[in-house]
């Protein structure tokens, strides 16, 4: 039997599906749950970070996981970042600082940075840039992204 | 946070900071990219690609693939070669003298590069499609590999294209006139200048193979309907061109072909501008099977088959006086265009344009520029931002610094001295610079970076064994591509086209035929239209890239948006405003009025002579569309206008870069301490968007110069088809960038705006390597090759140290 | 792009259950830890297992224990290892490595055990484990237990002494000595990228000078290697003795064979051994003497 039944919670909603064991978590999210905000930017190397989601609150690359590994866990995707239709301060900061252009890498960056600023209040620009190593962006040159994260982290620290 | 743009102040929405409208959906994961679009019953297509670089195909065994459960179809080149037309097709062929290799979208007879598609597998599940593709067996008769353009041009080299007597796909002389006699006279004149010059710098420059690969790979979803014909969603910058090409090749009447670039695309940068093989197969199979077929390119496929650009060798010579006055330029360039099988660009258009742009922004009394482009067993070059000129700018900007050193002058001073002072100006290669003040832009930069202060700092640091350096480069770039260049170059029109449609609620819909990939057209155009009509940008919606609903556009290429497209939109708005003014004057019985007597502002239309005479924008618009009675003579109801804008002259924009570095001479590693720019982008519509374009371009340039490289082994195996090996710069690898502005409004666009961003990466390798060489000037090191790598630099330092020791 | 068909997936709750699963699965069953390396191999179909045994629920494999010895569970994630400041200064090299593997997403899942068992040519943990002379505790499906020193465990790239049916349970190090310090850093073309060369140095100071040293390098075609020549020359070194450190690392560069690839030619790799090795030796000495040093 090359399939298995899994229960994966995504953005608070439980998905019970029978999946091929080899199915990537990214494909489960995009196809079984229909949440296409999580993107695929590389083949198998897992370097680009566009597929970044949270597993139990921690940023991971969903293309480097099988859906079966997420069985019993809680996944948060970009669609789950806003709460009750309200954008998170980080999302608002990205809009305010023009921290995205084509938007393809953006969900992965937002998911990574959402965890990062929770764990690091008032990061320096160097720390932010280091934390962004796992997310490639081609359009922005990272300058506005760093600004947006820094400002969001500051206001998160202030609250 | 204040934004670093010393640009002209905002005029309503024009020039204002306005948060992008696209962001709402993109920051919540609600974009709609090609891989997000699904159709009921959709099948998945995977390509099997050649694992060898150059071989005849003896046979292809697809039986195992066909037999696999879930596989619906398997196709090879033999299956299609008599059923669909081959390329070249006129619509995707330039009007330039070159050889255009015949090819089908799947290999027929032979494969010409590692990654050449040999078969297409369609299955109900994409994992199964990959399983099936793996079982396809190809019996190859391997042929010798040719992977060096100079070797490819030697007699006896393996020939890439059957029937060709050589691998030369294109050559051209860019200077000195039109006839061989003119060229000979010019060459002699140039030779005489070199013979008598005080200073001659002569170097061979090499730029490696790299490009600007976007984060989203390519894809196509095609649907066939017997009544409507073909609907093709394609990751493309040029849906209107793709439509014509698909129609011609698949022999489907053009009116039955609709190409839609997805609303959201994850970057293009030129990579999505050609007319490629793959969408042809996807469309053909959708038509044959009568079911939707989708192909989403893997990153591995992508790096095998596209995104490879630059890769030129230039033997460059410059003659100058001992005061640093440039006298003559001579270049012999060689481009490696891979197999050249690529609609629109054929691999060689990039080196072509790079040669045109070689003289850069300097005033050359004369020059002799010739290039040859060779086919090799590699993937065809596909366009990348700084189209063709990344290698030529690098070579030229390095040479300027070498001339300065030979004259014992500041490189910045030599640049300033030789910058074109009086515009308009036509370069020795025939490029027209319409307007701008290059010296103003450059002086703004040198002041900002405090060159004199840096020299003091550098001297102090050297005493303490630290090596700091400063490097400059400039770039004159295309602002849109005028028809007079685009027609010969690509057989396509350069005009910008926009349809502006008002609705009875006072809202505006703008249709754009070009397909953006992140440049923020929905916002900038909304700002321009809002500025024109005096309404809010949120009341303006922009729809792009659907050939079924938009006017013809040659594509999002060559910085056309800020130059041509917004100008067309503004023009359409202007014509509609005239009509609105006419009707309002008639309704208010104002007699003869000038359209300029009405001010469109804050949602109202105000009669300036008597400001209490005013109506809301909405009520006037509604009246004209819904109640078209009692209209002035000659005026009909409705408010929709399509405008085609062609600037009366080809246009440019201009930028200058300055980079400061510190080099660790013990390891050859360097750190960029700062990057500062000075830009002339004309009048700015959205300052953040402009700055973002600059940041992105500069980081692409740094990444290309330092990290990225496509490498082919001696047997033609491509070794860099994943992001572990084709390394892109991360945020930790690049500096903050300080963008400043010293604009001159463009006189040829209605708004004074310029198109920006396409050529921008070109000045980066020059500025960076100039800074490194400046830091290492005590060692006399001159960098002439890219990529810039610590191990190479370390060796150069070691060699310089040992030759110094030997003396 | 996608793994080949996988027929079985198990999630054991204990070491016993895990090794039983491997024994049942035979040669075509593999363990999956954090998956940050294995998933790449699965997706490119380099590895095509019949069954996957997922170790994520085996609690015994997680965590760092300090009771006498230091015992690091094989499933300890980099992010958790990086927070174990008690490892410093003696085993600070582990912190240096754990903080810079890949990126923070990788560190949230990747494990020290996974890295050691995969032993990729450009990996950090194998070089550090070798230099610290860690011991590996293995349990097999047939109930046996083995304990191997790192130098016995770690082989050429992608090879270790672990048998297919053995599970790496933990890494063990002796209780940290006062006066001991270590450091690790790598050089890669891009920040925190896969090491072209990784350098690790461990020293024990007695009376202000180095009594014992271990020096190791990763990124070599042979697999990670110690440099006895460098180790011998570091003995007697004092904090700040840059010349002695340089001599020691010159000896390492002489002793160790380097290869060329897309990122560096052999000469530059040797040079990195000298320069990175020297930086790490200086840092290790500083840390051993109770001062702080960044890598």
pLDDT, tens digit, for every residue of A9-20? 999 999 999 999
Give just the sign of the alpha carbon dihedral B442, B447, B450, B453.
positive
Instruction: Give the residue extent of every domain in chain B.
Output: 34-143+217-265+272-305, 309-482+649-806, 495-645
Helix (H, G, I), strand (E, B) or coil at A145: helix
Q: Are A96 and A47 found together in one domain?
A: no
Q: What is the distance of C-alpha B82 from the center of its chain?
A: 35
C218 within 8 A of C122, measured Cβ to Cβ: yes
pLDDT on residue B7: 57
Q: How far is CA B231 from the centre of its chain?
A: 26
Backbone angles phi, psi at B219, to 5 degrees: -170, 165
Best to test chain A binding among B23, B676, B697 (most A CBs inside 10 Å) = B23
Q: What is the C-alpha radius of gyration for chain C, rounded to an integer number of angstroms? A: 19
A74 in the same domain as A8: yes
Gap between the Cα atoms of A8 and A13, Å rounded:
8
Strand runs (DSSP E) across A21-156, as ranges? 52-55, 58-61, 74-76
pLDDT confidence bin for B508, thresholds 50/70/90: very high
The helix (H) or strand (E) run that includes residue C133 is: none
Same-domain check for residues A76 and A93: no
Q: Which of A80, A113, A142 is the last residue of a domain?
A: A80
For chains A and C, CB pairs below 8 A equal: 94
CATH at A115: 1.10.150.120
Give dist(CA B243, CA B234) in Å, integer: 10
Q: Does one domain contain both A71 and A100?
A: no
| Nearest residue of A to residue B757, measured between CA atoms | A139
Q: Are the beta carbons of A21 and C52 separated by less than 8 Å? A: yes
The answer to whether the CB atoms of C105 and A52 lie below 8 A apart is: yes
Q: How sure is the predictor about B411, in pLDDT bands with cuts at 50, 70 and 90? A: very high
Q: Which residue of C has its CA nearest to B711?
A: C262
pLDDT band at B1 (very low <50, low <70, confident <90, very high): very low
* Domain enclosing residue A108, as ranges: 89-158
Closest CB to C105 among A1, A24, A112: A112
pLDDT band of B258, cuts 50, 70, 90: very high
Cα of A149 to nearest chain B Cα, Å: 12
CATH of B495-645, one of 3.20.20.140, 3.40.630.30, 3.30.365.10, 3.40.50.1370: 3.30.365.10
Is C1 touching B (CB cutoff 8 A)? yes
Work out the number of other CB atoms within 10 angstroms of the CB of residue B424: 16
Q: What is the mean pLDDT of residues B418-444?
A: 97
CA distance C126 to C112: 9
Collect all residues of chain C within an 8 Å Cβ-Cβ radius of residue A60: 105, 108-109
Q: Residues of C with CB below 8 A from B134's CB?
A: 45
- For A46, nearest residue in chain C (alpha carbons): C40
Q: Pick from C190, C267, C275: which is nearest to B666 by CB?
A: C275
- CATH number for B34-143+217-265+272-305 (one of 2.60.40.650, 3.40.1160.10, 1.10.1740.110, 3.90.1170.50): it is 3.90.1170.50
Q: What residues of A are in contact with residue B734 (Cβ under 8 Å)?
A: 141-142
Of C189, C272, C275, the CB nearest to B727: C189
Give the nearest chain B residue to C102 (CA atoms): B724
Q: Which of A22, A42, A95 lies nearest to residue B20, judging by beta carbons?
A: A95
Counting every residue, how long is chain A?
159
Q: Which of A50, A100, A146 sits opposite B27 (nearest CB)?
A: A100
**What proportion of chain B, given as a percentage, has pLDDT over 90?**
93
Asked if A105 reaches chain C (Cβ–Cβ under 8 Å), the answer is no
**Mutual orientation of helices B521-533 and B566-587 as an angle, nearest 10°?**
30
Q: Does residue B438 contact residue B419 with C-beta atoms inside 8 Å?
A: yes
CA distances (Å), B387 to each of B20, B172, B699, B720, B770, in order?
Answer: 27, 17, 16, 21, 21
Sheet with B110-111: strands ordered across: B110-111, B55-61, B137-142
What distance in Å separates residue C27's CA from the closest CA in chain B? 22
Domain boundary at A34, A54, A80, which? A80
Output b/e per residue, A12-40; b: 16+ Cβ within 10 A: eeebebebbbbbbbbbbbbbbbebbbbbb
**Cross-chain residue pair A42–B26, CB shorter than 8 Å:** no
Residues of C within 8 A of A7 (CB-CB) are none
Contact: C109, A66; criterion CB under 8 Å: no
B518, A139: Cβ pair inside 8 Å? yes
- Of B644, B115, B176, which Cα lies nearest the Cα of B369? B176
- Going by CATH, does the domain composed of C59-173 fall within 3.30.465.10? yes
8 A C-beta contact, residue A41 and residue B33: no
Number of domains in chain A: 2
Residue B213 near chain A (CB below 8 Å): yes
**Would the CB atoms of A20 and C5 count as touching at under 8 Å?**
yes
Q: Inspect the interface and report whether the beta carbons of A134 and C106 lie closer than 8 Å.
A: yes
Say if residues C37 and C114 touch (Cβ distance below 8 Å): yes
**Is residue B4's pLDDT more than 50?**
no
Percentage of chain B surpassing pLDDT 70?
99
**Are B767 and B702 spatial neighbours (Cβ–Cβ below 8 Å)?**
no
Residue of B424, B329, B433 lying closest to B654 (CA atoms): B433
A110 in contact with chain B, both atoms CB, cutoff 8 A: yes
**In chain C, whose CA is at the least distance from the CA of B702?**
C190
Residue B439 is predicted with a pLDDT of 98
Residues C192, A133: C-beta atoms closer than 8 Å: yes
Chain C residues touching residue A24 (CB < 8 angstroms) = 2, 43
Residue B733, min C-alpha distance to chain C (Å):
6
The verdict on A144 and A94 lying in the same domain is yes
The minimum CA-CA distance between C245 and chain A, rounded to whole Å, is 30
Name every chain A residue with its beta carbon within 8 A of the beta carbon of C75: none
Domains B34-143+217-265+272-305 and B309-482+649-806 share a fold: no
A-contacting chains (≥3 CB pairs under 8 Å): B, C
Q: Does B186 reach chain A within 8 Å, measured CB to CB?
A: no
| In a shared domain, residues A76 and A26 | yes
Question: Is A16 in the same domain as A75?
Answer: yes
Give the chain B residue whose CA is nearest to the CA of A48: B723
Question: Which of A80, A111, A127 delimits the end of a domain?
Answer: A80
pLDDT of residue B591: 86
Distance, in angstroms, between B379 CA and closest chain A CA? 19
Q: Tell me: pLDDT of B2 over 90.
A: no
Strand-pair category, B540-544 with B508-512? parallel
The tens-digit pLDDT sequence of chain C (295 residues) is 999 999 999 999 999 999 998 888 777 999 999 999 999 999 999 999 999 999 999 999 999 999 999 999 999 999 999 999 999 999 999 999 999 999 999 999 999 999 999 999 999 999 999 999 999 999 998 779 999 999 999 999 999 999 999 999 999 999 999 999 999 999 999 999 999 999 999 999 999 999 999 999 999 999 999 999 999 999 999 999 999 999 999 999 999 999 999 999 999 999 999 999 999 999 999 999 999 999 8
What is the structure's pLDDT at B3?
A: 43
Residue B9 has pLDDT above 80, yes or no: no
Contact A46 C36 (CB under 8 A): yes
- Is-contact B304 B342, C-beta < 8 A? no
Sign, CA dihedral B178-B183-B185-B191, equals positive
CB contact under 8 Å between B732 and C193, yes or no, is no
CA distance A105 to chain B (A): 7
Q: What is the CATH number of domain C8-54?
A: 3.30.43.10
Q: Please report how many Cα atoms fall inside a 13 Å half-sphere around the Cα of residue A122, on the Cβ side.
A: 3
* Residues A73, A10 within the same domain: yes
Domain boundaries, chain C: 8-54, 59-173, 180-288
Judge: B725–C5 Cβ closer than 8 Å, yes or no: no
Give every CB contact of residue B336 below 8 A, 6+ residues apart in sequence.
B148, B149, B152, B209, B311, B312, B373, B374, B376, B378, B381
- In chain A, residues with a C-beta closer than 8 Å to the C-beta of B266 are 39, 41, 102-105
Per-residue pLDDT averaged across B694-714, rounded?
98
Tell me how far the alpha carbon of residue B536 is from its chain's centroid: 31
Mean pLDDT of chain B: 96
Instruction: Judge whether C4 is closer than 8 Å to chain B, CB to CB.
Output: yes
What's the ipTM? 0.98
Chain B nearest-CA distance from C139, in A, is: 34
Distance in angstroms (rounded) separating the CA atoms of residues B709 and B651 = 32
C242 touches chain B (CB under 8 A): no
Rounded alpha-carbon distances, angstroms, from residue B271 to B309, B486, B539, C114: 9, 18, 33, 38
pLDDT tens-digit readout, B300-353: 999 999 999 999 999 999 999 999 999 999 999 999 999 999 999 999 999 999
At B593, is the pLDDT very low, low, confident or very high (cuts 50, 70, 90)? confident
Q: How far apart are CA B712 and CA B718, in angstroms?
A: 4
Short-list B672, B663, B706, CA closest to B797: B663
Query: Which among B215, B520, B698 is the nearest to A105, CB-wise?
Result: B215
Q: Say what angle helices B389-407 and B349-356 make with each other, to 10 degrees.
A: 30
CB < 8 Å to C192, chain B:
732
End-to-end alpha-carbon separation of chain A, Å?
A: 51
Element (H, E) at B482: none
Q: B309-482+649-806: what CATH class?
A: alpha beta
Task: Please give the CATH number for the structural domain made up of C180-288.
Answer: 3.30.390.50
Which residue, B247, B404, B408, B427, is CA-closest to B766? Answer: B404
Distance from CA of C191 to the nearest CA of A (A): 7
Number of cross-chain residue pairs from B and C with Cβ atoms under 8 Å apart: 47
Q: For residues B42-60, give the mean pLDDT.
A: 98
Q: Is A24 on the interface with B (CB under 8 A)?
A: no
């Amino acid at each position: 039997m090359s399939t298995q039944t899994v229960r994966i919670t995504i953005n608070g909603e439980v998905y019970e599906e029978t999946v091929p064991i080899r199915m990537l978590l990214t494909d489960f999210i995009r196809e079984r749950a229909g949440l296409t905000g999580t993107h695929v930017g590389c083949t198998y190397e897992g370097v680009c970070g566009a597929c970044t989601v949270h597993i139990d609150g921690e940023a991971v690359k969903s293309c480097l996981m099988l859906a079966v590994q997420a069985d019993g866990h809680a996944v948060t995707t970009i669609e789950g970042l806003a709460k009750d239709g309200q954008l998170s301060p980080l999302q608002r900061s990205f809009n305010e600082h023009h921290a995205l252009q084509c938007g393809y890498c953006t969900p992965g960056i937002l998911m990574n940075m959402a965890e990062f600023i929770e764990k690091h209040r008032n990061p320096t620009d160097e720390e932010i840039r280091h934390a962004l190593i796992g997310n490639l962006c081609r359009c922005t040159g990272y300058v506005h992204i760093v600004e947006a994260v820094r400002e969001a982290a500051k206001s998160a620290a202030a609250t | 946070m204040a934004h670093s743009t010393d640009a002209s102040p905002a005029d309503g929405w024009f020039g204002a900071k306005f948060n992008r409208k696209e962001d709402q959906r993109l920051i919540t994961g609600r974009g709609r990219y090609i891989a997000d679009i699904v159709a009921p019953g959709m099948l998945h297509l995977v390509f099997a690609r050649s694992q060898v670089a150059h071989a005849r195909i003896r046979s292809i065994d697809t039986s195992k693939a066909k037999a696999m459960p879930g596989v619906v179809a398997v196709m090879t080149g033999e299956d299609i070669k008599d059923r669909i037309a081959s390329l070249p097709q006129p619509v995707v062929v330039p009007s330039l003298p070159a050889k255009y290799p015949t090819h089908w979208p799947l290999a027929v007879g032979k494969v010409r590069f590692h990654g050449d598609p040999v078969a297409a597998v369609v299955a109900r599940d994409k994992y199964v499609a990959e399983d099936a593709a793996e079982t396809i067996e190809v019996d190859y008769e391997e042929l010798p590999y040719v992977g060096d353009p100079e070797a490819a041009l030697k007699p006896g080299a393996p020939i890439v294209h059957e029937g060709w007597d050589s691998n030369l796909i294109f050559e051209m002389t860019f200077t000195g006139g039109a006839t061989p006699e003119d060229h000979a006279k010019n060459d002699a004149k140039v030779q005489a200048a070199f013979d008598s010059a005080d200073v001659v710098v002569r170097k061979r420059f090499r730029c490696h193979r790299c490009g600007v690969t976007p984060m989203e790979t390519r894809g196509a979803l095609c649907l066939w309907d017997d009544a409507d014909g073909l609907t093709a969603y394609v990751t493309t910058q040029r849906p209107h061109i793709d439509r014509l090409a698909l129609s011609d090749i698949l022999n489907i009447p053009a009116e039955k072909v609709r190409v839609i670039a997805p609303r959201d695309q994850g970057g293009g940068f030129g990579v999505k501008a050609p007319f490629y093989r793959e969408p042809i197969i996807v469309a053909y199979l959708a038509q044959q099977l009568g079911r939707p077929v989708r192909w989403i390119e893997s990153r591995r496929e992508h790096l095998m088959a596209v995104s490879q650009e630059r890769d030129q060798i230039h033997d460059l010579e410059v003659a100058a006086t001992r005061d640093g006055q440039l006298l003559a330029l001579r270049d012999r360039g060689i481009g490696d265009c891979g197999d050249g099988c690529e609609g629109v660009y054929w691999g060689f258009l990039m080196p072509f344009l790079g040669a045109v742009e070689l003289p850069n922004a300097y005033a050359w009394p004369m020059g002799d520029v010739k290039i040859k482009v060779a086919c090799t067993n590699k993937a065809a070059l596909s366009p990348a931002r700084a189209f063709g000129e990344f290698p030529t700018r690098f070579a030229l900007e390095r040479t300027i610094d070498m001339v300065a050193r030979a004259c014992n002058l500041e490189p910045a001073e030599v640049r300033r001295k030789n910058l074109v002072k009086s515009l308009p100006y036509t370069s020795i290669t025939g490029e027209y610079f319409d307007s701008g003040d290059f010296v103003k832009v450059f002086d703004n930069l040198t002041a900002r970076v405090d060159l004199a202060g840096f020299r003091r700092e550098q001297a102090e640091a050297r005493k303490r064994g630290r090596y700091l350096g400063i490097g400059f480069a400039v770039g004159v770039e295309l602002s849109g591509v005028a028809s007079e260049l685009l027609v010969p170059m690509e057989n396509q029109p350069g005009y910008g086209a926009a349809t502006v449609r008002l609705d009875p609620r006072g809202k505006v819909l703008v249709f754009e035929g070009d397909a953006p990939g992140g440049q923020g057209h929905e916002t900038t155009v909304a700002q321009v239209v809002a500025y024109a009509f005096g309404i809010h940008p949120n009341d303006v919606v922009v729809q792009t890239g659907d050939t079924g609903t938009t006017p013809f556009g040659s594509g999002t290429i060559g910085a056309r948006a800020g130059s041509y497209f917004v100008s067309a939109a503004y023009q359409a708005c202007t014509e509609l405003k005239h009509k609105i003014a006419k009707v309002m004057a008639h309704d208010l019985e104002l007699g003869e009025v000038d359209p300029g007597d009405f001010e469109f502002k804050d949602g109202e239309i105000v009669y300036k002579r008597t400001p209490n005479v005013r109506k809301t924008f909405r009520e006037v618009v509604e009246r004209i569309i819904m109640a078209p009675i009692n209209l002035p003579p000659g005026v009909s109801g409705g408010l929709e206008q399509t405008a085609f804008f062609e600037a009366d002259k080809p246009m440019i924009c201009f930028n200058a870069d300055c980079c400061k570095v510190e080099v660790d001479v013990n390891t050859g590693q360097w750190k960029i301490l700062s990057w500062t720019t000075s830009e002339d982008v004309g009048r700015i519509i959205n300052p953040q968007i402009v700055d973002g374009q600059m940041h992105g371009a500069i980081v692409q340039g740094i990444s290309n110069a330092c990290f990225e490289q496509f490498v082919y082994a001696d047997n033609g195996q491509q070794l860099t088809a994943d992001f572990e090996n084709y390394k892109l710069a991360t945020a930790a690898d690049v500096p903050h960038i300080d963008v400043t502005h010293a604009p001159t409004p463009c006189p040829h666009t209605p708004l004074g705006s310029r198109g920006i961003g396409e050529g921008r990466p070109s000045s980066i390798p020059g500025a960076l390597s100039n800074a490194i060489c400046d830091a290492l000037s005590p060692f006399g090191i001159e960098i002439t090759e890219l990529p810039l790598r610590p191990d190479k630099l370390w060796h150069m330092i070691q060699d310089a140290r040992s030759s110094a020791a030997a003396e | 792009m996608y793994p080949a068909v996988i027929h079985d997936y198990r999630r054991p709750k204990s070491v016993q259950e895990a090794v039983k699963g491997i024994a049942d699965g035979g040669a075509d069953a593999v363990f999956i830890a954090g998956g940050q390396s294995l998933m790449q191999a699965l997706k490119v179909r380099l590895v095509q297992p019949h069954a996957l045994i997922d170790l994520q629920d085996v609690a015994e494999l997680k965590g760092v224990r300090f009771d006498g010895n230091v015992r690091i569970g094989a499933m300890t994630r980099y992010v958790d290892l990086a927070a174990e400041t008690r490892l410093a200064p003696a085993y600070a090299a582990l912190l240096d490595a754990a903080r810079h593997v890949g990126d923070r997403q990788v560190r949230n899942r990747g494990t020290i055990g996974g890295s050691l068992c995969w032993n990729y040519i450009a990996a950090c943990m194998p070089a550090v484990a070798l230099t610290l002379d860690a011991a590996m505790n293995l349990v097999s499906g047939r109930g046996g237990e083995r304990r191997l020193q790192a130098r016995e465990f770690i082989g050429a790239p992608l090879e270790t002494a672990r048998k297919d049916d053995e599970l790496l349970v933990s890494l063990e190090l002796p209780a940290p000595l006062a006066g001991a310090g270590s450091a690790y850093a790598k050089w890669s073309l891009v920040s925190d990228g896969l090491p072209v060369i990784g350098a690790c140095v461990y020293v024990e100071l007695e009376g202000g000078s180095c009594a014992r040293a271990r020096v190791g390098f990763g990124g070599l075609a042979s697999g990670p290697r110690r440099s006895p020549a460098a180790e011998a020359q570091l003995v007697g070194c004092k904090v700040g003795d840059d010349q002695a450190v340089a001599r020691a690392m010159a000896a390492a560069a002489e002793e160790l064979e380097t290869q060329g690839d897309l990122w560096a030619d052999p000469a530059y790799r040797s040079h990195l051994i000298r320069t990175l090795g020297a930086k790490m030796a200086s840092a290790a000495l500083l840390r051993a003497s109770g001062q702080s040093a960044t890598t």
